[in-house]
Structure 1
Amino acid sequence: MERDDDDAAPVDMLASLFEARGWPYEYVGDDELTGEVQGSWAKYQVRGIWRREDHVLQLLCLPDIRVPEDKRAAMFEVLALVNEQMWLGHFDVWSNGMVLLYRHALMLGDEGLLSIAQAQTAVEAAVDECDRFYPAFQFILWGDKTPAEALASALVDAAGEA
C-alpha cells in the first residue's frame, strides 16, 4: 500500500500510532485492529473498525466492565447522565454480554485517509473519557451510590487530581 507522508488507511495509521507508543496491538482482519492502552484507572481494549463503504472509522474503547443484572437500571441511568456531559462519542452497554464501552465514529471523506494527528486525538479522547467516568461506573457497581451521586463523586474526584 502506498502512503504519502501525512495520511494512511485508517487501520494502518492506528497500527503506526500503537507501534510508536509501544502499545500492544494486532490486526483482527484487513479492516480491524485491536490493542491495549493503559489508562489512569485500568487497561483499556481499543478497537478500530474501518467501514469502507461508509468511509467511517469506528473507535471503541472497552474498560473491561460487565454490568450484572441487578445493577443494569442504575448503570443505564448513569450512562444517560454521563452522555449528557460528553461532546465527542458516547458510552453504551452492548446487549450481548452486557459489556460497557465508549464508542465514537470518524467520517473520513471520500479518500478514507486518517492522519497521525487524527488517530492520536481520537484514541486519547477515548482513553481520557474512559478515565474521566470510570469512577462513576465503579461507584454504581461497587459503591452502591445512586447514579447522580456516582457521577457527582466521580467528577469531584477527577477535578481533584489536577
Structure 2
Amino acid sequence: MRSVGDEIEREEEAAPVEMLAALFEARDWPHEYAGEDEISAEVKGSWTTYQFQAIWRAEDRVLQLLCLPEIRVPEGKRQAMFEALSLINEQLWLGHFDMWSNGGVVLYRHGLMLGEDGLLGPAQAQTVVEAAIDECDRFYPVFQFILWGDKTPTEALAAAMVDAAGEA
C-alpha cells in the first residue's frame, strides 16, 4: 500500500544526473557536468575532500557512483592495500572499495540499478551519496595507517576501528 509520502516522493523523482546536481547545489558543493550523463563534485568529508563522480548508463538503467579520497598507492604498498581492501569489503553491505591498476588510485564504487523509468528520488540520491562519503570517512584512516604508519592491513583496520569507536 502506497502512502501519500510515497506519491509525493514519486512526483519529485528526476533523471539521475539532474537529481544529483540538485542535491549538490542544495549543499553548496562545487560540481560540474562532464557530459550529458556524467557529473562530478567536490565533497568535504571528515578527513579530506573527496572527488565524487556519477555516471548514468541509460541503456542499463545503472547509475555508477565513485567517491575518490585522493589516495595514490605506491607500488611497494599495493599488496598491503589489496589485502586491506579485501578486509574492508567484507564489512560492506553496499558498494566496495577498489584500486585502479592505472595509477594505484583508491576509490569507493557503487552501482545503483534504477527502475524502468530510470528516475532517482531525492531521498535515494541523498542516501547513496551520504553512504559513499560515510564509508570513505570510516575507512580513510586504514589507508593512512598503511601508507604512512607502516601498519599491516590487520593492524590498520583494528587501529582505525578503535579510533572511530572513540570518536562517537
TM-score range, shorter chain: over 0.9
Deviations 1:4-24 (CA, angstroms, capped at 9, x unpaired): 741000000000000000000
Equivalent residue number for residue 77 of structure 2: 71
From 22, 27, 50, give the equivalent of 1:16: 22
Structure 1 unmatched runs, 5+: none
Aligned to 1:6: 12
Alignment of 1:122-137 (within 5 A): 122-137=128-143
Shift of 1:151: 0.3
The answer to whether 1:82 aligns with 2:88 is yes
Please give the alpha-carbon distance, in whole angstroms, between the structure 1 residues aligned to 2:165 and 2:92. 16
C-alpha separation in 2, matches of 1:113 and 1:27: 18
Matched, 1:152 2:131: no
Q: Flag as ranges the 4+ runs of structure 1 deviating above 6 A.
A: none
Amino acid of the structure 2 residue aligned with 1:89: G
Helix, strand or coil for the counterpart of 2:29?
Answer: coil
Which structure carries more strand by proportion?
A: 1
Alignment of 1:96 with 2:97, yes or no, is no
Q: Which residue of 1 aligns with 2:49?
A: 43
- For 1:76-135, what per-residue CA distance to the aligned partner results, in whole angstroms no more than 9, with x for missing partners? 000000001111100000112110000001100110000011110000000000000000
Distance (whole Å) between structure 2 residues aligned to residue 98 and residue 51 of structure 1: 25
Match of 1:27 among 19, 33, 41: 33
Instruction: Normalising by structure 1, report the TM-score.
Output: 0.97
Unaligned runs of 5+ in 2: 1-9
- Bigger radius of gyration among the two: 2
Match of 2:147 in 1: 141
Aligned equivalents of 1:156, 1:41: Cα separation in 2 = 16
Percent of residue pairs identical: 74
Whether 1:56 aligns to 2:62 is yes
How many residues are treated as equivalent by the alignment? 159
Instruction: Give distance in 1, aligned partners of 2:35 and 2:164.
Output: 37
Aligned alpha-carbon RMSD (Å): 0.8
Deviation at 1:141, TM superposition (A): 0.3
